[in-house]
Chain A
Amino acid sequence: MASRPVNVWDLPLRLTHWSFAVLVFAMWYTAENSLWFWHTRLGVALFALVIFRIIWGFVGPPTARFSGFVRGPKAVLGYLRGKYPDDQRIGHNPLGALAVLALLGVMLVQTSMGLFAGDPYDGATGPLNSLVGVMTADQLTDWHADFLWVVLGMAGLHITAIGVYSMIKMDDLVGPMVTGTKEMKPPVEGIAGTPWPRAILALAIAAGLGVWIWLGAPPLG
């Protein structure tokens, strides 16, 4: 039977994905060029977006849900041995699932450290800097700077993997992440429509958390 385009990635997931790409680059650029006004603001936005993606991983469509794609070591090994039917499944494969967790994890760790980083007597500070002691903030600032290499390493690995899939496996991962659709043969079905009320609620929670943190987490701060 002929293949036809089916929906694989919902719109909130795609917008979140490309915002991650833009924001991670912007975070590096603003830090490198001492644009701390923007670094701190975009950092809180990135943190909130990671939170949104995590919530979406519980309430989004099947291909967005962690329970829908995170698999055990057996499945990952099986995938590496070529035992995974790529042409009969949509969404993250077992190895890609690990990449999703790792990418979200490093962004969450890095932005969380940034919230506390800095020194009020020497440049910009994260919005929660005053909640920790000067020595703790100093330590987190050092780790935040060093952890950049882990973030860049993960981003590099991610981009390399996409290149390998498109050039060696002839599997275009970028196209579906832009359009949301992929050519699949029946009986493979795409995901149903986006649950927009849940998307808006998840975004509201994440944005609310971001605003609360930006204000210094009252009444704590």
Chain B
Amino acid sequence: MNTSFSLRLIAATASLGLLAACGGTADEAPGEAAPAGDEPAIIDERQSNFEGIGDSFKLIRAELETDTPDFAAIEGAANDINERAKLITGHFPEGTGIDAGYDTEALETIWQQPAEFEAAAQKLIDESAAFAAVAAGGDKAAVAEQVKALGGSCGNCHDQFRVDKD
């Protein structure tokens, strides 16, 4: 083996090693300024609750993209959002926001303006109940119109209490 081939092998091996290392760390995403002690379990709990709301909301919109939406499925998803919305205010004990150093998008305004936060959560409870009622009617145009109000009650809370994602 000549020297130059060895060098090229070293180069290739080093590069592949780096690639492997990148792959290995891909799944770990530690919070940058995690405080001492474990992250409160409630953060995971509320994040999966919001993901559930997001999934149900996407299911509703995907159904409305079809020619013959399944209104029973839409109503079921709306009820799921409604049930999950009722859990929201109980998911935010003080000191679990982004300012406490946790891997979360929850802003401090949640605890600075508790009345407004509660009102925003209540709005989602009310809108999802109203939406379920409209969905039960089976009128596609009416349901499609009501989706905007439902989506608006998600955004309303995000705008005030979540890290800006726009």
Contacts and interface: CB of A to CB of B under 8 A. Distances in A.
Given A81-B5, A149-B26, A122 B19 contact: no
Contacts of B31: none
Contact of A80 (B8, B22, B158, B163): B8
A48 B45 CA distance: 41
Interface stretch (A53-61, A131-139, A210-218): A131-139
A82 to B, nearest CB: 4
Interface of B is mostly: helix
Nearest to A81: B5
Nearest to A121: B151
Interface in A33-57: 34, 36-37
A178 B108 CA distance: 47
Nearest to B17: A160
A169 interface: yes
Interface string A113-142: 000000101111000000001110010000
* Most B Cβ at <10 Å: residue of A122, A149, A168: A122
B11 A153 contact: no
A153 B22 contact: yes
Interface residues of A, number: 27
Given A82-B5, A121-B57, A164-B15, A135 B62 contact: yes
Contacts of A169: 7, 11
A156 B2 contact: no
Contacts of A37: 166
B158 A122 contact: yes
Contacts of A165: 11
A101 B22 CA distance: 20
Given A36-B166, A121-B57, 9 more contacts: A81-B5, A82-B5, A133-B65, A135-B62, A138-B58, A156-B19, A157-B15, A161-B11, A168-B10
Interface of B: 2, 4-5, 7-12, 14-15, 18-19, 22-23, 26, 54, 57-58, 61-62, 65, 151, 154-155, 158, 163-166
Interface of A: 34, 36-37, 79-82, 119, 121-124, 133-135, 138, 149, 152-153, 156-157, 160-161, 164-165, 168-169
